[in-house]
Amino acid sequence: MGWYSYFMGYLIIIIEGDFPEKVINMALTRGILLWDIKAIENNKIMLKVKIPGFRALRHIVKHNGCRMKIHKKVGMPFKLSWIKRRKGLIYGSVIFFISLYILSSFVWFIEITGMEKIKESEINDLALQYGIRRGANINSLDLDKLEIEMAENHPGIAWVGLDREGTKISIKIAEKSLIPKTEDHKKGHLIALEDGIIEEMLILQGTPLVQEGDTVKKGQMLVSGYIYPEIIVNDDGTQSFDGDPELVKAKGVVRAVVDYKQIGSCPLEKDTYIKTGETIEQIIVKFKNKNIVIKGPKEVNYKYYIQTTKSKNIMPWRNKDNSVEFISQVYYEQNKKKIQYGHEEAFKEAIKKAEKELGSKFKKDIEVVEKEVNLLPGDSNIVKVEVTWKCVHNIAKNLVAEEKPQNKTEQP
């Protein structure tokens, strides 16, 4: 019967009595269309009949002393009947969602962050010049373009970020800051940032206290900010300084070889998770701390999965308890698989992990000159290594001087 029967509507009924077959025979002889007839119990049959045929069938059933009940109503007429009985609910829902859509197209809240010296009122005035105000149509605002224009047209702003969160526009400000001039009045010394072996020194100002090849400790003074009018070289190679010292700001570069160590490990057997390609999506409406699933299954039957969640508050101006939030959750099914490494593979994997961790800590001006790998003892199921990178970089750091030394010192 297909779609035509669904469009016209039909009933699934159950006829019960001593001779239900007589009912079927009489109905067919009178031209009543019946289909999908099947016996479900003794003296009980189930069948389908169109709506007009149902009315005629009632008299035949009664005439033969049988009973008939409706098992299910199927088709468009019954759907329309349900809609007619609930007109108010449907119209109200339509009006509600249309109102939400219209209201969510306007700016109702503006949040400004990031100011230090610039006043918030000044940013509000600037935003107003570019049409960012309460009641403005969000869809008419080109936020990417406005970010550039607002930053270019304010002398104190270095960067502007505009983000839309429902009906709220967030304005993030980064103020311009002038690079301070070198404060030469902060006179002092150069000390070591880290332990290392001095490889190269370039002293622009101050008195060196170490030389190339020396091993230094973190915090040790490398270059003194005191300079002396007279330097005397003694017979044993040491230097003596005479005269009243003058305190300056020590300047220079002290490059040293510094060891950086990192431990990495890799098990000989581990679990990994691989996506199967199967996904489940749920659309949830959250209202008054209740989650209503409007799309997708209520429960996810995946044993292993990755879940991603996106949410949108469509009524952020309401208080938290009465807000309406749409939540989209996608579940990506995974299969668990065991991976086994040979000792050589695990050794390489452990090194890779340690080097990745070391690389994340370094600045651009650090030069790696040598690498060492040591296998560490440990669990028989885990390969553990210690990776050492010998790096060369400037370890000198300024330290403001507070006390004046004696007027004579000796330096090797």
Per-residue pLDDT tens digits for 139-183? 888 888 888 888 888 888 888 888 887 788 888 888 876 545 545
- Domain span at residue 302 reads 273-336
| 354 pLDDT tier (thresholds 50, 70, 90) | very high
Same domain, 400 and 388: no
What whole-number distance in Å separates Cα of residue 385 and Cα of residue 373? Answer: 7
Same domain, 348 and 327: no
**CA gap 238, 258 in Å, rounded:** 27
Looking at the chain, the whole-number percentage of residues with pLDDT higher than 90 is 23
- In angstroms, rounded to a whole number, what is the distance separating the alpha carbons of residues 143 and 4? 52
Q: Is the pLDDT of residue 359 over 90?
A: no
Q: What is the pLDDT of residues 320-346, one digit of tens each?
A: 555 678 888 999 999 998 888 888 999
On whether residue 94 sits in a domain, the answer given is: no
pLDDT of residue 82 exceeding 70: no
Residue 24 covered by a domain: yes
Determine, yes or no, domain membership for 92.
Answer: no
C-alpha torsion angle, residues 106, 109, 114, 120 (rounded to 10): 110
Residue ending a domain, choose from 336, 353, 373: 336
Overall number of domains in the chain = 5
Higher pLDDT, 321 or 46: 46
CATH number at residue 32: 3.30.70.260
Q: Are residues 227 and 163 in the same domain?
A: no
| Residue 38, pLDDT score | 87
329 and 388 both lie in a single domain: no
Q: Please check whether residue 63 lies inside any domain of the structure.
A: yes
Which one of 175, 206, 229 terminates a domain? 175
Residue 314: the pLDDT is 65
Query: Which residue has better confidence, 224 or 167?
Result: 224
Clarify whether residues 292 and 239 are in a common domain.
no
Which residue would you say has higher pLDDT here, 40 or 280? 280
- Residue 134: give its domain's CATH number: 3.10.20.310
Confidence bin at 387 (pLDDT 50/70/90): very high
Burial state string for 93-118 with b = 16 or more CB within 10 A and e = fewer than 16: eeeeeeeeeeebeebbebebeebeeb
Higher pLDDT, 259 or 243: 259
Please give the pLDDT value at position 363: 66
Would 221 be classed as within a structural domain?
yes
71 and 23 inside one domain: yes
Q: According to the model, what pLDDT value does residue 32 have?
A: 86
Question: Exposed, middle or buried: residue 45 (CB in 10 Å: 0-12, 13-18, 19+)?
Answer: buried
pLDDT at 168: 84
Residue 70 lies in a domain: yes
Residues 373, 390 contacting (CB under 8 angstroms): no
- pLDDT mean across residues, the chain: 83
Tokens (6 digits) for 257: 């070889």
Read off the pLDDT band of 212 (50, 70, 90): very high
Dist. CA 94–CA 83, nearest whole Å: 13
pLDDT at 263: 94
Least reliable range by pLDDT among 100-104, 271-275, 324-328, 356-360: 100-104
| Nearest one of 294, 176, 190 to 248, comparing CA atoms | 190
Q: Which of 257, 245, 248 is nearest to 411 (CA)?
A: 245
Residue 412 lies in a domain: no
Predicted confidence at residue 178, as pLDDT, reads 55
Nearest Cα residue to 53 out of 68, 42, 65, 38: 68
Instruction: Answer yes or no: do 251 and 292 share one domain.
Output: no
Is 93 within a domain?
no
Length of the chain: 412
47 or 82: which leads in pLDDT: 47
